[in-house]
Every structure is written in C-alpha cells, then in structure tokens.
Structure 1
Amino acid sequence: MNTIISKDGTKIAYEKLGNGQAIILVSSAAADHKDADQLAEQLSKHFTVYNYDRRGRGESTDASEYAVEREIEDIEALIVEAGGKSLLFGSSSGGVLALEAATKLGDKITNLFLYEPPFIIDNSRPRVPAEYVQNLNELIEEGRRSDAVEYFMSKALGIPAEYLDHMKADPSWKEMENLAHTLAYDGMIMEETQSGKPLPTNRWDVNVPTTIIVGENSEPYFHEAAKSLAELLPLAKYKVLSGQDHSAVMMAPDVLANAVVEYNDQNTNEVST
C-alpha cells in the first residue's frame, strides 16, 4: 500500500487504482479498506480511487488521543495527494465522517456520496445509550475486545442477541476484534445523532452536491434519517437503491458503484447547466 503522513504525524495507508476524477472511500465502523476492495475495483473503471485505512486500522498508525478533527486532516492529506480536489464516498458512520469533512474542507470536495448514515431520529428502533462511548472505552481498557464488538453489534447496530453467537463463529468476528479500539471513534463521530432526536440544524454546512443513498430493503430509520438530512442540506438528494440493504458496499459493489457513477453524472450536468 501507499502511505502519506497526516498533519499530526500519523501514517495513513491507502490503495490507489483507476483513472479519472479522484474519489476517496471512507469506511464504516469495524471496517478497514479491505471491506471496500470490490467497490473500489468497480469504481476504478470510472475514477481514480483512493481506498484507505482510517487511523488505527489496517496498515495505518494511530495517535495517543483521538479527535474527529484528526480524521478530517487524514482526508485532507489524501485530497492533497489526489491533486487538491476529490469526490468523497462514505458508508454508514464513515458517511457521517465524510459529512464532517465536507463541512470543514469546503470546495476541496466536489461531490459527496453518503450510503446509509445511521442516524436515529425517531423511536422506530432503540436509541444508542448515552454512555455508549464510555462503555466501549472501558471494555477496551479491560482487554475485552470481543465484548466491545458484541456491545457495538447490539447497541449500535441493533442486532438481536440470538444472532450474535452465530456471528462469533465467523472469521470476520476476529477481524472486528482487531479493530475494536476504533469503535469508540465512530461513536464520537456520531455524537448525539443516534439518540432519537431530530438532526441538529446547524452542525453541517455543506454546499456541494450531496447524494444520500439508502437501500430499498433497509430498515425505515435509515430512510427517515436520509430524508431529514436531505432537507437540511441545500444541494442534497435522497436516493433509493433498488433491492439493496445496509450490506451493499460488500454484497452489491457493482450496483452501488453504478449508482455513484450515475448520480455523479447527474450532479455534474446540473452544475454545468
């Protein structure tokens, strides 16, 4: 993998493939760049793709203390490497990080694509506990990585307890354990946006074309959150991806990539006219 050095000295590892406009892929919680490998390959037919390991994951290093601002600086360093401007794609909580980056970095980001930001703005599913980040950090400090992943799965993703034992038997569980110390990072990115309250009206200032994509088969709270966010942002659209759910990044990368290409073309044509 290639590497760059972020502003605070953290090494950020990334893969670069394809040609065309730059697009940076921001991964979700409990994921590194490998989860988006197939999506990156599909997008590389149309873009120059930067598929990176967020700090603390994969081949990227970490800092002694976490701050969301440092992750935005990582994205900014990748944009500089890409020539100064880039499209940005973020999935799940990575989409919320991408949204934060677009607020801070302005026109360095030319188009923003968010796949199912996991806001909880109503009572259609249980809210994430107020002490969520604190509890995750305590589990990590105690060396209870598997318990931290289980806590994330049950409280943040809402997966019923009866499914968790089966999931623990899959090799992917061990991979998530290796990333468990970063789960609190995504909790800090989400802040109070999973508490069942309406989205804050003054948190994001994004003035670039933004496409918020939700799988047709995903739970209603994803759709309600996407619609609400689209109403807050001046250049945002809510789009539904037929037949898909929250797993589309890994399970339907070709379908998702085609949607990104289509919406990017639409946005480019609208801006030019």
Structure 2
Amino acid sequence: MRHVTSADGTSIALHTVGDGPAVVIVNGALSTARDAGLIARAFADAGLRAVTYDRRARGDSGDAPIAAPEREVEDLAAVIAASGDDVAVVGHSSGAILALYAAGEGVPMSRLFLSEPPFRFGEDDPAADLAVRLQALIDDGRPGDAVVLFQREAVGLPEAFIEQFRNSPAFEQVAALARSTVYDTLLTQRTSTPSAAMRDVRMPVTILRGSETMPILVAAASRLAEEMPAAEFLEVPESVAHRMDPEATARIVAARVR
C-alpha cells in the first residue's frame, strides 16, 4: 500500500498488483480496495497492472469536512496520475458513475469500462434531502442507521435483506464506511442523468452488464448504451447479482487494453 495526495490535501490509499498496462479499478458503494482484491488478482494474471484504491472516507484513505463529488474526481485524477501513462479505468456501480463523471470533467484515461452504473435518468430518484439526513445520523453517532437508510432509500434493497444484513457479522465493518454514503448520494444525485460532457467523452467506452442483475441496472445500462452510441455494450453472463466476475471481466479488459 502507498498513498497519494489529492488536490485538497487528502491522503488516498492505493494498492498495485501485477505488471503491464495500468488499469485503475473504482469500487462501488460501501466497499474498499480490499473488496476488489480478487478482481485485481485476475487482472494481474491476465497481464495487467491492477490499481485499487480506497475512495475517500473508506479504509486507509482520509476525508474532508465537507463532502462533494468534485473531491472524488480529484482523488481519481491523483490515482491515475500516480499510475503512469495511458491508464484505463474500470468502474463498478457508483464507481462507474464516478469514472464517467471524471472523464467528462477531463480526467485523462485511455479507456473506460462501466460496469452496471446505477443511473436513474431522473426517474424515482431518492429524496433530495437524503445526504443531509445521512450526515445527521453520522454526526449523531449512528453510523449503522445511516447505512440502513442508504440501503433502503438510495439502493432500494428489500427490508428483509436489510434486516438480515444488519444482524450479520459483516455489518459492523460496513458501518465504519457510513460517511462514504454521503459521497455516493451526492454523486448519484448530481449525475442521475449523465451530462452531455459525460455522454460525449472521447476515449473508447465499454458498458458491461451482468445477465442476472437488478432491473434498474438492466434499464440503466441499456439506456446509457442508447445515449452513447459510440460505446460498446457487452452482456457478461458470468457476472451475477451486481458483482463483476473476476476472470470474465479480466478477459474483456485485457483484450481491449493490450
């Protein structure tokens, strides 16, 4: 592990495995670089140099008093700059939204892979005050309640699943990432519908979607492909339940990056 310094001085932790062309992996909500370990290893086995990082307010990365999507764009830019030239980016879930948002803001990347980005295109968006309510729970010392609120209103998970997860041993670890829900909420609110700058990015784009995933993600991937006609669209049968299959994804990325 090493750290890079983002534009606002925040320390961002990153990990590198493998040799070859660099690919930065941007995780989704309530996850850390550790959660992308299997994917990073599969990328390395496919001849790539996989770079994973803790998005701010997660894991070994720092944070700032005021959450804003711009800070996460700066974080990704710092990670890419530290990873060499001609860096490709693979984003999953909200990480895919962040990656496309950063590309639209001019962050340099050679290729972009978007795995199941949860764009809503202005339909059934979470309440406008969700980020404020999440921050209030965190400030009140109730990170677990913030995670539950995020899962319920931002993700739309069934109550039975939320309750089962809250009673699991993994919940305490995820609760430690509660502050990151504010960042994800602000990001997805700002980019519910991809901007013209996001849709018109210049680098090659591949949109990835598993064959068995949530209906909202199926609809989002299909609509994004329609609005980005120059992008390649691929269904990945091996990826199920909103998870990238490591080996299948590595094959797809390696074939296009190398």
Amino acid at match of 2:215: P
2:231 aligned with 1:236: yes
Amino acid at match of 1:254: E
Percent of aligned pairs with the same amino acid: 34
**2:234 match: secondary structure:** strand
Amino acid at match of 1:66: A
Give the conservation status (yes or no) of the 8 Å contact 1:206–1:233. no
Match of 2:170 in 1: 172
Q: Please report the TM-score for the alignment, with normalisation by the length of structure 2.
A: 0.91
Give the conservation status (yes or no) of the 8 Å contact 1:248–1:256. no
**2:51 match: secondary structure:** strand
Match of 2:11 in 1: 11
Q: Please report the TM-score for the alignment, with normalisation by the length of structure 1.
A: 0.87
What whole-Å deviation, never above 9, does each CA across 1:65-94 have from its counterpart, x for those lacking one? 222222111111122212233100111011
**1:139 match: secondary structure:** helix
2:20 aligned with 1:47: no
Gaps of 5+ in 2: none
Match of 2:214 in 1: 219
What whole-Å deviation, never above 9, does each CA across 1:40-63 have from its counterpart, x for those lacking one? 010012211111111111111111
**1:105 match: secondary structure:** coil
Measured at CA, do residues 129 and 258 of structure 1 come closer, stay the same or move farther in structure 2, by a change above 3 Å?
Answer: same
Give the Cα–Cα distance (whole angstroms) in 2 for the partners of residues 193 and 65 of structure 1.
Answer: 19
Give the Cα–Cα distance (whole angstroms) in 2 for the partners of residues 5 and 142 of structure 1.
Answer: 29
Amino acid at match of 2:26: V
Give the conservation status (yes or no) of the 8 Å contact 2:21–2:48. yes
2:254 aligned with 1:261: yes
Amino acid at match of 2:134: L
Gaps of 5+ in 1: 269-273
Q: Equivalences for 1:1-273 in 2 at 5 Å?
A: 1-45=1-45, 46-105=47-106, 108-121=108-121, 127-191=125-189, 193-194=191-192, 199-204=193-198, 205-233=200-228, 235-249=230-244, 252-262=245-255, 264=256
Give the Cα–Cα distance (whole angstroms) in 1 for the partners of residues 66 and 73 of structure 2.
Answer: 15
Give the Cα–Cα distance (whole angstroms) in 1 for the partners of residues 161 and 7 of structure 2.
Answer: 41
Give the conservation status (yes or no) of the 8 Å contact 1:39–1:253. yes
Give the Cα–Cα distance (whole angstroms) in 1 for the partners of residues 122 and 97 of structure 2.
Answer: 18
Give the conservation status (yes or no) of the 8 Å contact 1:121–1:221. no
Measured at CA, do residues 77 and 215 of structure 1 come closer, stay the same or move farther in structure 2, by a change above 3 Å?
Answer: same
Match of 1:271 in 2: none
Report the Cα offset of residue 244 of structure 1: 2.7
Runs of 4+ in 1 over 4 A off after TM superposition: none
What whole-Å deviation, never above 9, does each CA across 1:162-219 have from its counterpart, x for those lacking one? 222211122221111000011010111111555xxxx355251411111111111112
What whole-Å deviation, never above 9, does each CA across 1:123-172 have from its counterpart, x for those lacking one? 6xx54223221221121121111111111111122211122221112222
